[in-house]
Every structure is written in C-alpha cells, then in structure tokens.
Amino acid sequence: MKKTPSEGSWSLRIGERYPWLSEGLAPQLGIAALVWLLIVTIFAVTLFAHRVDVSATDLAPRTIVAPYGVVDWSATAKARQDAMQSVPKFYTTNPKILNQQKQKATNDYAYISALSEDTAAPLSEREAALASAIPIGLPKSVWGTVLALTPTELAQLQQDTLVTLSSAMGSGGVRDSAVGVQEAKTFVAGLTQQESTDPSLRLFLTTYTQSLIVPNTFLNKQEIRTRRQQAANQVPPVKILKGEVVVQAGQVVTPGDITVLKQLGLLDQGFAVGPILGSMIFVTAVVALVGAYFWYLRRKLLGSWRVAAMAGLIMVLGVAAADTLSGVPGLSYLVVPTAAIMVTALVDSGLGLVIAGILALAISVLTGADLNVALVSFFGGIAGVFGTSRLSQRYDILRAGILVGIVNLLALLGLDVMEGAGLLQTQVWQYLIWAMVDGIFASILAMGSIPLLEGPFGVITAMKLIELSNPNQPLLRKLLVEAPGTYHHSIMVGNLAEAGTEAVGGNSLLARVGAYYHDIGKSKRPYFFVDNQFGAENPHDRLAPTLSSIIISSHVRDGIELAREYRVPEPIVNFIREHHGTTLIRFFYQKALDQDNGDGVEEADFRYDGPRPQSKETAIVMLADASEATVRTLKNPTPQAIEQVVRRLIKERLEDGQLDESNLTLKELDIIARTFTRVLTGVFHQRIEYPDRVLKEMERSRGNGNRGGKPPRLVRRMGGDSPRGGPRRSH
C-alpha cells in the first residue's frame, strides 16, 4: 500500500526526532532495558540482603561487619562531649573591685583619724560612731584602742590593712562563691596573726580586713564556651573502618550501634524506597554512559544487537561476580580486568576501557569497597585492554594477565606508600601478592570464557581467526583435497588481501582468513571451475551459457551451506556471500549474446545474487580475488602490465557500484592498487630463460658436485623450478 504524502512526512519527522527508530535499534534498546533491570535487581537484592532486623537492647543475631568505612557519629559526639567536659573552668579577675575596696579602706581610716583628733567629744560617743560607721561587730574596747593610736601608728595600721587586702584579693583574686570568699578570709587571718602584738589591734586588723573581702574573680562563660568548642573541634571523628566488626554475634545492641547500622544501610526498617531508587538512578547513569559511547564513538558497533548483548552480559555477570566474590579474601582485583580483557578481545578496546571504568565504580559502590580497590581495579582493567588490543594467539592473553598483575602490584604499592602503610607488615604484602596473582587469574578466566561467547553471539576474535587459518581445519582440508587449484588460489588471495587491508588500516587477519574460505563452495563441483581443470576438458563447452552461469554463481550458495554445516562464524560467511557482490559473469553473458537467436538476453540472469561488500575487508577480498585470477593469465606479467590490470579491475568494480557500501575511499583504493601491484609483481615475476649452452654447463657442474647422488633437476622453461630451488609459477 502506497503511503500518502502526509504519512510519509509524518514518518520522516518521527525519524528525524528519534533517529534510533529509523536506524533499527529497537533490539539494542530492549537489551539495554534488560541489562538495566538486571543490574538494578542485583543492587537492590544485595542492599536488602545485607540488612539485619534488630533493635536496641536486643542480642545481635549475627556478627555484622562494616562493608565500608563510616563515621560513628554517636561515639564521636560522646568523645567530643568528654573533651568539652575536660576543659577547666576559666575565671577572669576584675581589678576595679580591689581598687574600690582599697579606696573604702582609705576612707574608713580617714574617718577614724578624724575621730581620734576630735578630743572634745566623749570617747564613748566616738566609739559608738565608729561602731555605727564600720559595722564589723567589734567590742567598744577595741574601738577605744584604735582611737587611742597616734597618727603614725594609725597610718601603719592602715598600711597593714591595704597590704593584707592586696595579698588576699590580688593574686588569683577571690572567686565568686562562698568557698572562695571563705578561703580569702582564712588567708587574711593567717597573715594578720603576725602583724601586731596587741590582741585588740590584731583583732581589729583581722576583722576589718576580712570585711573588705569581696569576690573579684568571676566565671568567664563566653571564654569557657570558646575553649570547649575548640577542644571538641580537635577531637577527630571516630571511624569504623571497612571490615571492622560493628556488632558481635550475641552482643547486646546499643543505641549507638543502631545509629551506625542506619548509617551503613544495614538496619532493616521494613520496605525502603531509598535503596531501590538510588540503584535505579545509579544504573541509569551507567547504562547511559555505555550507550553514549556507542552512539557518539562507535555508531557502527551500535548496529549489531550481538555486540550490545555481549557487552550487557559481561556487565551483568561482572556485577554479579563482584557481589559474590566480595567476601572472598584476595579476589578484589579479579573481576574488572577479566571483563576488560573479554570486551577488548570480543568487541573493541575503547569499549573495554569504558567497561573497566564503569565496572570499577559500580563494584566499589555495590560491595562497599574503598577507593583503593576501585583505583587498582581500574588500572588493572586498563592494563588488560592494552595487553589484549593486539592479539595474535591465545598466549597473548596470558601475557596481558602478567601485565595486569604487575600494574596491580605497582598501583597498590604506590597507594600504600602514600597512605603510610607499614611495608614490613605481613598483611600488606599478602594484599600485594594477591593483587598480582589476580591479574594472572583474570587472563586465565578470560581465556576460558571467551570461546563460550564467540559461538552463540557470532563474534570472531583474533584467536579464533588463527584457529580458522590452520590448514588442518576440516573445511580447508576438504578444499585442499577436492579442489587443490582453488585452495592455492585462496592462499594467494589471502596474502594479497592481508597486505591490502593492512595498508588501509583494516583488519588484515580477518581479510586473510576470509579469503581462505571465500571459494569453499567450489569444492562441491570443482571441475566446473578453471582453477581445478588442469588441462582437462571444460564441461562448460557442452552447456548453455545460462546453465553455466547458474553453476558458476551457485558456488556462493554452496559455500554458505558448507560454512553453516561446518559452523564457520558469520563474519567469515560474509566473505563467501559478498566476495562477488552483484558482479556480472561476463564470459557467459557475452557467450549468451553471441548465441542469441532473437529471444534476448537478460543481464540480471548473469549476475551474482550479492549482496555487495559491506565492509572494507570483504571489498578488498573481492578486488584481490579478481586481481590474482586475472594477473595469473598474463603472458608477460611485467610490473606495468600488472598495475594496469589491477587498476582496470578496481575501476570496473567502482563504476559497477560494487564498492558503494564498503566505505572504501578513492585514496584507499589507490593505496590498495599500489599494494596489490607490489605483491603480485613479487609473485608473478619473470624468471631468466637460460640458453642451452649455459644449461649444459650447469648440468656438468652439478654432476661433478653431486657424484653418487641423485641427478639435479634442470629447468628449461620460465616458471619451472629455479636453479636455486625457487617456487614454481602458478598456472
């Protein structure tokens, strides 16, 4: 049904607004949602499983260990309170009060002096006046003795009073309390006992000076508050370290323990939305970062749901394994490098770095590991990516594991030194050794896990390619036995494709192995192909061009069927499917035109089914296949002739549109042409045609040097074995 213009414009607007809908990313979005759900579930289940249902005064049902370090605010508050209580009371002396009391004493003595000089008044009246003016409870006889003193003696008594008062209130002062005042008066009594021999005067001096004692030193509350706050601030927070026992099994749980359990998120308070909501937010950020990497940096990988599924599976298994191994000593640094090595080997080194960073942080949050574990794991993951980025055999992964172990050791050692850890402690070196061993374990685990993902997800690694290139592979063995000419041609095409792909920065190993398998379909009807006829009768001479075209093009379908039967990975099947694209089987097409009796010839009947090459590697194999086969037919394969043929073939494929979907640029095609020319010139170089006279001389020379041995093989024609036993020219 044809869409109306409005429908078409609507779909176009939707595609522009939501590009992933038009790019067929629905499976990848489904995988991302599933990964998000699984990781959120792991986080939530783990957080809830670690909680314990207990109240204050209960007995702890199990020993609870802190999954990560926290501050025990209850213990910290108690320690700070103790520090505040330990601050001594601070008093401040007011000097004005002592001066006021001295002035009062001076005024009183002036009054006593005035009464002493007033002899006109009766003594009893003067005594009564003093007793009333200075009410300190002394007998009249004491006042009479004081009034009888001479001015000099009175001045000395005044001086004794002021000195005693200064001694009592000056040094340290008199604190504002009954005890402080009493202590000062007792001090005065002790001093005045030695001041006079007259008991009346001594009684007056003691009693009068004690009456002058008043508090002049007061509690400085503001200063005390300041000092207490300073003391509290100097108390560091009481920390509960990772792995430290919070509550021992059977121990009475205190309110402080309850506070700590709440801080650690280990107290079961019924259903809580916090762990679930927090897990959802955190995992959303993780999945979004991975998706952003694909979208902005590896858009081509994003088109494969298999890649998305593998990356998601490794992430989910990594988080689950980290949760499982979190309580196993010595395995803290195993998960991240293993995941990084697997992702790099199976998908991409850039994605390996992203997964290493995200997984290190996720594991740190999930297991409560400290920052050191996250940093060392991340460094180990980076080392695993670097060590795995160029794989040529499985032992390369083991070397990557050794690199991971060394990086783990150095990173952890550096962190320990910075934190002042005692390097002579046995426990420190146990962790260092485990960090190194974890790197090697990571490579072994990755090496065993990668094959489990290669088959189900149709991914092919460098190690798998090396295995597929082994001549003892059943399918290559079948090709060698049943179609030896095609086998030799495939080897030549593989060498040519490898050189061309490497020159333009493609996957040269994939191109070489793909070339080995690109013509396996010819093993089903080998003698219908000129590679395997070896001078025998050509069966196509008796067949109609249309039937010959069907037989020739069927080797692609036959190859795909054989590949499926022998379980060849899909990336190699692509070489079988695409190495001819939709090119024209020109020989039989021309033959059909020559034999046409007026019915007409459809060009589409003489074209391969396709599709056209979808990658640089399959396109280069197409060009290498045509170049090797055509150059082989040259009678005079000079470098100029070879280059002319190669460039002509590339131009024909380019004009026919066969390279439109391969992402090869014109500059890369020029590089490929020059590379093919160099390689083919080295293979199909001309040999020297020796004259008969020279050959006879060489024969006699060899005969003299090989007496008693086998006669030497002589070469008379170009392309035979060279005098030095060089390779034969291929026909």
315 and 421 share one domain: yes
Average pLDDT over residues 402-424: 81
Structural domain span for residue 178: 91-219
pLDDT digits (tens, 9 = 90+) for 322-368: 877 766 666 778 899 999 999 988 888 899 999 999 888 887 777 66
pLDDT digits (tens, 9 = 90+) for 226-262: 888 888 888 888 777 665 777 777 787 777 777 777 7
390 and 327 share one domain: yes
Band the pLDDT of 48: cuts 50, 70, 90: low
Give the chain's domain count: 4
Q: Output the domain CATH number for residue 579.
A: 1.10.3210
Assess if residue 415 is contained within a domain: yes
Average pLDDT over residues 712-722: 37
Assess if residue 4 is contained within a domain: no
621 and 677 share one domain: yes
Band the pLDDT of 220: cuts 50, 70, 90: confident
Cβ contacts of residue 554 below 8 Å, gap of 6+? 521, 525
Q: Output the domain CATH number for residue 349.
A: 1.10.1760
322 and 430 share one domain: yes
Assess if residue 587 is contained within a domain: yes
Assess if residue 319 is contained within a domain: yes
If we measure between CA atoms, which residue out of 271, 270, 339 comes closest to residue 311?
Answer: 339
Q: What pLDDT sits at residue 74?
A: 76
Residue scoring higher pLDDT (260 or 504):
504
Statement: residue 412 has pLDDT above 70: yes
Residue scoring higher pLDDT (711 or 634):
634
570 and 548 share one domain: yes
204 and 318 share one domain: no
455 and 333 share one domain: yes
410 and 380 share one domain: yes
SS3 665: coil
DSSP states of 111-125 as a string? HHHHHHH-TTS-HHH
438 and 535 share one domain: no
Assess if residue 368 is contained within a domain: yes
Q: Rounded to two decimals, what is the model's pTM?
A: 0.62
Looking at 191, 219, 247, which one is the last position of a domain? 219
In whole angstroms, give the CA distance from residue 527 to residue 530.
Answer: 7
In whole angstroms, give the CA distance from residue 437 to residue 11.
Answer: 56
If we measure between CA atoms, which residue out of 660, 507, 657, 517 comes closest to residue 579?
Answer: 517
Average pLDDT over residues 583-589: 89
User: How many CB atoms are closer than 10 A to CB 702?
Assistant: 15
pLDDT digits (tens, 9 = 90+) for 451-503: 888 878 878 888 888 889 999 999 999 999 999 999 999 999 999 999 999 99
- Inter-residue contact 251 to 54 (CB < 8 Å): no
Band the pLDDT of 12: cuts 50, 70, 90: very low
Band the pLDDT of 72: cuts 50, 70, 90: confident
Band the pLDDT of 721: cuts 50, 70, 90: very low
673 and 692 share one domain: no
pLDDT digits (tens, 9 = 90+) for 523-569: 998 888 888 777 667 788 888 888 998 998 999 999 999 999 998 98
Statement: residue 13 has pLDDT above 70: no
Query: Which span out of 78-82, 228-232, 563-567, 713-717 was modeled with the highest average pLDDT?
Result: 563-567
Average pLDDT over residues 280-292: 91
300 and 208 share one domain: no
pLDDT digits (tens, 9 = 90+) for 160-212: 888 888 888 887 788 878 888 888 888 888 878 766 668 888 888 888 888 88
Residue 464: alpha-carbon gap to chain centroid = 27
Cα torsion 93, 97, 101, 102: sign: positive
Q: What pLDDT sits at residue 697?
A: 67
170, two tokens: 């000056």
If we measure between CA atoms, which residue out of 506, 446, 464, 486 comes closest to residue 675?
Answer: 506
Assess if residue 231 is contained within a domain: no
In whole angstroms, give the CA distance from residue 666 to residue 654.
Answer: 10
Assess if residue 61 is contained within a domain: no
Q: What pLDDT sits at residue 414?
A: 86
501 and 399 share one domain: no
pLDDT digits (tens, 9 = 90+) for 485-497: 999 999 999 999 9
Q: What pLDDT sits at residue 147?
A: 84
In whole angstroms, give the CA distance from residue 564 to residue 570.
Answer: 9
Q: What pLDDT sits at residue 21?
A: 47
Q: What is the 3-state secondary structure (H, E, C) of 544-611?
A: CHHHHHHHHHHHHHHHHHHHHHCCCCHHHHHHHHHCCCCCECHHHHHHHHHCCCCCCCCHHHHECCCC
